[in-house]
Amino acid sequence: MGLGAPSSIYAATGRHAFDGDSAGALTYQVATHESDTSVLREPLRSLVSAALSKDPAGRPASEQLLLSLVGRADLADAVKGVAPTSPAGPDEPSRSEMAEAVFAGPGTAAQEVVSQVLLRLVAPGERAEDTLRSAYRSEFADGRTPQEVLDQVLTAFTEAGILVWDGDSVTLSSAALIRAWPRLRDWADAERPGLGVHQRRSEGARLWEGNGRRNNDLLQGTALERTRDWAAAGRRHLTRNHTERDFLDAGSALTRRRGRLRVLLSAVLAVLLVLAVGAAAVAFDQRQTVLTQRQTATGQRDRAVSAQVAGTAQSVRRTDPRLARRLAVASASLADTPESRSSLLALRYQWEADVLKLPGFVATNSDLDATGQTLMAAADTNVEFWNVDTRTRTGSYTAPARIHRVDLSDDGKTAAVSTDDGYTRVLDVAGARPRDAHAFPTPEQTTGYWPPMKLSPLGTYLTVETPRLRTRTSTTKRAY
């Protein structure tokens, strides 16, 4: 700042504070010349004059000058108290000297209270750049210091101009006093680690009290632990007032209640979890039991139904082989029972593959071709030809006498019909009529036995059994 003051004069006037032509002249002017600072406005004029003082003891430190420059509305008072324009005489003490004098005035009990009162008016800044804060009169009552001692301290420092009141709130008259008064500076440095904690506690207590002491405004968690630790072991000069003490006690009580509630809630949740797991286990066991019972009942039902269906398949396997096969497969799909296996084996190896029911026709004689596709059926004097695959009638023929034997060639194109009149007639299956007018004699034997006859595979030859020759073969294309 020693170099800064001449620079300030040069910036304001355009002239150097020391204008010697040589180094010796400049040295002489620095030692003897009083620079004209009248062109500067207050408080800068007083600060520059103090910084250009010839007496090193009269020049303020750079820290004091800086704090004076960055002070609030009371900057002029800070300049007068910290950096007087001329060395202070015995009748003009500085602000720090006045504060020290007031401190030395009251007794020991009052002196112990001064640090508690003044530190409540200091707001911590980064490093040493502390600022001011206001406090209400009620904040100074800690329950241990007599009220008359507090009133004595507040009155003494107010009358000395150290404290400034605004209604019921009070603050320091100058931020520079925090660094200018060594005793207050030492107090602030000693209490610095806890000033921020104290300020947050004080403001929190004020908010809590102003809002009707609501639980939502209480400190919790890390902030509460840090404040309690500092209040228990970290503070040096600051004390807790009634509101702050109640504030911390209420926060601690709320923490304990919430802790107990959390423990109780955890216990309840644990019990509910155990009950839920137990209920789930019981429900799962019951479900498995029900499923097992259901499977057992279903198996028993399926086996019973399978046996019943297999019995039905056995009963109709001769009259309706197709239906019997379906029933046997259904029986085996329901359950693997002895009855289902027996019905499957019986239907697998039985000769009957299918049944064709002729509506309105009761056949007394029938024959199939070699392919099993064409069926010839006879009843009384009627002969019908059927397509087995499509189950449709392809033709019919009426014989002149009652039919007692029929035969169908293997190719299904030729049929032979033996009637009671002693003749065998050859029919063309496609037209369901005699191939020609010729009939082959096949008389009834004396024993009442009608001789059998048989067509060749292609229907070319007809073989008839006779008592004398045993067999007689004739061509169906001409008479024999």
User: What pLDDT score does 5 carry?
Assistant: 57
Instruction: Name the amino acid, one letter, at 242.
Output: H
Q: How far is CA 162 from CA 112, 178, 238, 430, in A?
A: 17, 11, 19, 142
Strand 131-132 to 461-464 pairing? unpaired
Q: CA-CA distances (angstroms) from residue 431 to 202, 379, 402?
A: 125, 19, 21
Please give the Cα distance from 162 to 114 (Å, whole number). Answer: 12
Q: Is 356 exposed, middle or buried (0-12, 13-18, 19+ CB in 10 A)?
A: middle
Which string of b and e fits 139-170 if b means at least 16 CB within 10 Å?
bbebeebeeebbebbbebbeebbbbbeeeeeb
In angstroms, rounded to a whole number, what is the distance separating the alpha carbons of residues 300 and 257?
A: 63
Lowest mean pLDDT among 126-130, 241-245, 417-421: 126-130
What is the identity of the amino acid at 221?
Answer: G
| Vertex 19 angle, CA 18 and 24, to 5° | 85
The full set of domain ranges for the chain reads: 4-82, 95-240, 365-475
Whether the CB-CB separation of 238 and 194 falls below 8 Å is answered with yes
Is pLDDT above 60 for 357?
yes
Give me the residue label for tokens 């406005």.
41
In a 3-state reduction of DSSP, which class is residue 165? Answer: strand
- Architecture label for domain 365-475: 7 Propeller (2.130)
Two structure tokens written together for 193: 């680690």
pLDDT 10s digits, 169-183 = 888 888 778 888 888
Q: Residue 319 pLDDT more than 90?
A: no
Alpha helices in 235-380 (DSSP H): 242-316, 321-334, 338-349
Calpha distance 112→118 (Å, rounded): 11
More confident residue, 89 or 406: 406
pTM comes to: 0.43
**Which alpha helices (H) appear in 211-241, and where do they start and end?**
221-229
H or E, element range at 154:
helix 147-159
pLDDT band at 398 (very low <50, low <70, confident <90, very high): very high
Q: Indicate if the alpha-carbon torsion angle 34, 35, 39, 43 is positive or negative.
A: negative
Sign of CA pseudo-dihedral 24, 30, 31, 34: positive
Average pLDDT for 6-22: 58
Does domain 95-240 fall under CATH 1.10.10? My reply is yes
Same fold? 95-240, 365-475? no
Which residues contact residue 352 at a Cβ distance below 8 angstroms, ignoring those fewer than 6 apart? 317, 318, 321
CB–CB of 121/171 below 8 Å? yes
Question: So what's the pLDDT on residue 4?
Answer: 54
pLDDT digits (tens, 9 = 90+) for 65-116: 666 666 533 444 444 444 444 444 445 577 788 888 888 876 677 777 888 8
Helix 182-210 to helix 221-229 angle (10° resolution) is: 140
Mean per-residue pLDDT, 350-354: 82
The amino acid present at 69, given as its one-letter code, is: L
- Percent of the residues in the chain that have a pLDDT greater than 70, as a whole number: 73
- 137-188 pLDDT, tens digit per residue, is 888 877 777 888 888 888 888 888 888 888 888 888 887 788 888 888 888 8
Q: Which helix (H) or strand (E) holds 155?
A: helix 147-159
**Residue 377 half-sphere exposure toward CB, CA atoms < 13 A:** 21
